[in-house]
Amino acid sequence: MSHVTASKVEPQESPAVAADNAPVLEARNLTIRYGNNAAIKDVSFAVPDRQITAIIGPSGCGKSTLIRHFNRMNDFVQGVTMDGQVLYHGIDLYAPHVDAVEVRRRIGMVFQKPNPFPKTVFRNVAWGPVINGFRGDLQKLVESSLRKAALWEEVKDRLNDSALALSGGQQQRLCIARALALQPEVVLMDEPASALDPVSTARIEDLLFELRQRYTIVIVTHNMQQAARVSDYTAFLESGKLVEFGETDQVFTRPKEKRTEDYVSGRFG
Amino acid sequence: MSAESWPAPRAPGTLDRKHSRRWREEAIKGVLFVCAVLSVIVTAAIIAVLAGEAVAFFRHVPVWDFLFGTRWTPLLEPRSFGILPLVGGTFMIVVGAALIGVPIGLASAVYMSEYASTRARSIVKPILEILAGIPTVVYGYFALTFVTPLFRVVLPQTNIFNAASAAVVVGIMILPMVASLCDDALRAVPESLRDGAYALGATPFEVSTRVVIPGALSGIVASFVLALSRAVGETMAVTIAAGATPKLTVNPLESIQTMTAYIVQVSLGDTPAGTVEYQTLFAVGALLFAITLTANLAAIRILRRFREVYE
Amino acid sequence: MTALLAPSDNLRRRKRWASAFRTLCAALTWFCLVLLAVLLVHATREGLPWLDVQFLREFPSRFPERAGIKSALWGTLWLIGLTAVISIPVGVAGAIYLEEYAKRSRLNAIIDVSIANLAGVPSIVYGILGLAIFVRFLALGRSVLAGALTMSLLILPIIIISAREALRAVPNSIRGASYALGATQWLTIRHHVLPAALPGILTGTILALSRAIGETAPLIMIGALTYVAFTPTGPMDAFTALPIQIFNWVSRPQQEFHELAAAGIVVLLTILLLMNATAVIMRQRAQRNRS
């Protein structure tokens, strides 16, 4: 079902990355088009290992398109074409020999609106590993995933209840647990807290700090304060172009570009 | 989780496609595709079967004689294969059914969408669905044992088998279809159009007839065409109640025969395959299919071409 | 001051038209209820005296007092059972392909138009098709199998259309969640989409089958016999069905046979009522689960 075609370039040392952290995920001269309109134009940056990288920008700048490209979720959209590469440990994710299914096992995703399956809490977390051939102790895996998502204490007596009976914030943490159960290396989050109330949002932000120790996280957010609070690195996108990428501290307090400064100080967007 | 549970991500080649998985997905997709394509195959089969035997038929009987002849006696000497009496019979049924089904169906749709309370609507809609779900044999029975005696009380010269009873019953049969399709069309007209008219001081009658109905016209007309197509193809009610005497007449109180009733008559008899009589079955069937297909395509065309754009 | 808002003559006239129109529409609509009631009362009144256990157990006979619908009832059960087994998998499979896999292409547009057309083809044309292909060409004779295959063709478009609607109603977020966990398309459909769409599919299937139960013309075409004194024991047996039996009785001139037909109608309508009630309950329960 893949409509995207990739170009062949040898992996090289890429510029925008801190020296001691090798990039897990990298976009290189990435252009993404819907039909004739380019949603992402020549974007290059590298996502460092076990850090939280935030992608910010005004609405419509292409943040969702970009993050969905990292785990080949754009394969399901008709009419999408691309130039450039997305590299995962140096492997081009869009090379013809690469299986999108394998990609998504290693690069997980949490969506904006919580979307648990209409099944029990347990089945929600266990389903991903089971279909991917997991043969270990399922109970332990489910428990540890729910603990990592800070949900275990609240649902440990309700594992066989329907996931839809949980509150919005709980459902989103369940979706995080579900993604973590696959033991991914990278977790992509597309505005994970925007559909939630402030209390749930705060809990998810706390969660991110803990997850950072084991997972590389890329988070799209339209909430600048959230990006400033939570992330280590920030990419600022505008109309599909990468305006600036750097450590969050630097991007927010000493931005190199005027556009960046205008955006983070609230002058537009 | 032990290391054997998951293949390490950085090992070379672990992102590669698994061929077995790909083959299974493609095989499943293939099976599903065949099931979907079946509909095209069935359509082609219908055309092939009807056309095949019809062509053989037209080798014996000239097309002109068939389409425009006025005597239909394929089973009795002297043989005549003019289909106009059957077409006339079908036509009478369709006209009669339209006279009943169309106004009542449209009125019901207008009532349901413009006037009825939610409670009234929740009663009327299921009733119409029940009417639509009653098998046609039951309607045939009703025509013969209830409607015809009723007609005979008022007009004693009515034949036991007559076109009028069948037409009445077919009308009842198609009215739920008209009502349901028109209801959908009327409800698709945005509230803002109605509001605008009411704000200008129009009465509900004027809003319905001058704004809403014209605003849903393509759907309404399409529903009429589809309902008439259904009436053309109606078989059991006319077989039971309208008679088996093909004749060209304008008197609905007489016994007639429709195209569909003729096909049933031939099947009930012992007609050996390969004879001209057997082939009449396909010739009439082909004409019937052609008429309903044209009507259905016209309805789809009307919907697509004249679909109102409200924004 | 009240004269300011008093209705003019013009408005009074127009309002009279408005209420007349409303009354007309309402009257015609409730007339449908009356029609339905008359129909049901008439059939029940004529048929109920003949409806007893013996009626359900006896075979048809030349003598009205001894006639029953046993063969027709069993024939219908066999017919619908086989039809369900054939048409449901094929119809659901086709719907899955069209909703989940098919991209916008010439062939798929043709398939869509074909299905819409086939839904409007008169049932007797399906009978002609069944006669030519199943009875004659495949030499299945006047068997239950030929009847079931013909009926399957008839209701296939209905099943496909309603199954597609049920699949379409499954929110895309479920599919997205499944794919993001590394599932293939078929796994996603099998574990998530299909179970979620199942109540809608079942409802549509039951309605399609209830349409098949009442169809007579195709069965006459393929040669379902009208006088059968045995019940089928296998798919290749000859058979009769409820609507055929009713038709047979109605076609006779004697009053008693008309009343027998009414009794058969009561049985047929009861079966239909049960099936439709099941479908409605299922639909309501599915809607309740969703919210």
Residues B80 and B55 in one domain: no
Per-residue pLDDT tens over the stretch B170-179: 999 999 999 9
Any domain includes B151: yes
What integer is the mean pLDDT of B160-170?
93
Interface of C with B in 75-104 (CB under 8 A): 89-91, 93-98, 101-102
Any domain includes B310: no
**Least confident stretch, A36-50, A83-97, B68-82, B218-232:** B68-82
Residues B273 and B212 in one domain: yes
Residues B76 and B55 in one domain: no
Q: What is the pLDDT along chain C (291 residues), one digit of tens a residue?
A: 566 777 788 888 888 888 888 888 889 988 888 988 999 999 999 888 888 877 787 887 777 777 788 888 889 999 999 999 999 999 999 999 999 998 888 888 888 888 988 988 999 999 999 998 998 888 888 889 999 999 999 999 999 999 999 999 999 999 999 999 989 999 999 999 999 999 899 999 999 999 999 999 999 988 877 667 778 888 888 888 999 999 999 988 888 889 889 999 999 999 999 998 888 888 888 777 665
Residues B55 and B166 in one domain: no
Q: Rounded to a whole number, what is the distance in Å from the CA of C285 to chain A's nearest CA?
A: 15
The residue type at B311: E
Chain B residues whose beta carbon lies within 8 Å of the beta carbon of residue C214: 133-138
Any domain includes B100: yes
Considering only the beta carbons, identify the residue of B1, B16, B21 that sits closest to A98. Answer: B16
Choose the final residue of a domain: B29, B60, B91.
B60
Domain span at residue B33 reads 2-60
Residues B225 and B132 in one domain: yes
Any domain includes B219: yes
Residues B233 and B284 in one domain: yes
Residues B22 and B140 in one domain: no
Residues B51 and B77 in one domain: no
Q: Distance (Å, rounded) from C-alpha C269 to C-alpha C214?
A: 9
Give the pTM. Answer: 0.86
Per-residue pLDDT tens over the stretch B63-85: 888 888 888 888 788 888 888 99
Total tally of structural domains belonging to chain B? 2
Q: What's the CATH code of the domain at B264?
A: 1.10.3720.10
Q: Residue C243: is it exposed, middle or buried by C-beta count within 10 angstroms (0-12/13-18/19+)?
A: buried
Q: What percent of chain A has pLDDT over 70?
A: 91
What pLDDT does B40 receive? 86
Choose the final residue of a domain: B14, B39, B60.
B60
Options 3.40.50.300, 1.10.3720.10, 2.40.160.10, 3.10.620.30; which CATH number does C63-290 get? 1.10.3720.10
Q: Under an 8 A CB cutoff, do B9 and A136 touch?
A: no
Any domain includes B311: no
DSSP state of B79: P
- Per domain, the residue ranges of chain C are 63-290
Q: Distance (Å, rounded) from C-alpha A221 to C-alpha A244?
A: 16
Q: How many CB atoms lie within 10 A of CB C55?
A: 20
Q: Using an 8 Å Cβ cutoff, are B232 and B292 in contact?
A: yes
Residue with structure tokens 């209409």?
Answer: A118
Three-state secondary structure call for residue A123: helix
Interface of C with A in 86-105 (CB under 8 A): 103-104
Bridge partners of residue B119, in order along the sequence: none
C188 touches chain A (CB under 8 A): no
Q: Under an 8 A CB cutoff, do C196 and A118 touch?
A: yes
For A149, half-sphere exposure in the C-beta direction (CA atoms, 13 angstrom radius) is 28
Any domain includes B180: yes
What pLDDT does B223 receive? 92
**Residue whose C-alpha is closest to residue A172's, from A147, A198, A196, A141:** A196
Q: Using an 8 Å Cβ cutoff, are B278 and B263 in contact?
A: no
Q: Rounded to a whole number, what is the distance in Å from the CA of C291 to chain A's nearest CA?
A: 10
What pLDDT does C56 receive? 80
**Residue whose C-alpha is closest to residue B27's, from C157, C101, C67:** C101
Question: In chain B, which residue's Cα lies nearest the Cα of A95?
Answer: B16
What pLDDT does A266 receive? 79
Q: Kind of pairing, strands A52-56 and B80-81?
A: unpaired
Residue in C99, C104, C181 to test binding to A, most A beta-carbons within 10 Å: C181
List subunits contacting chain C, requiring 3 or more Cβ pairs under 8 Å: A, B
State residue A48 phi and psi, 5-degree precision.
-75, 155
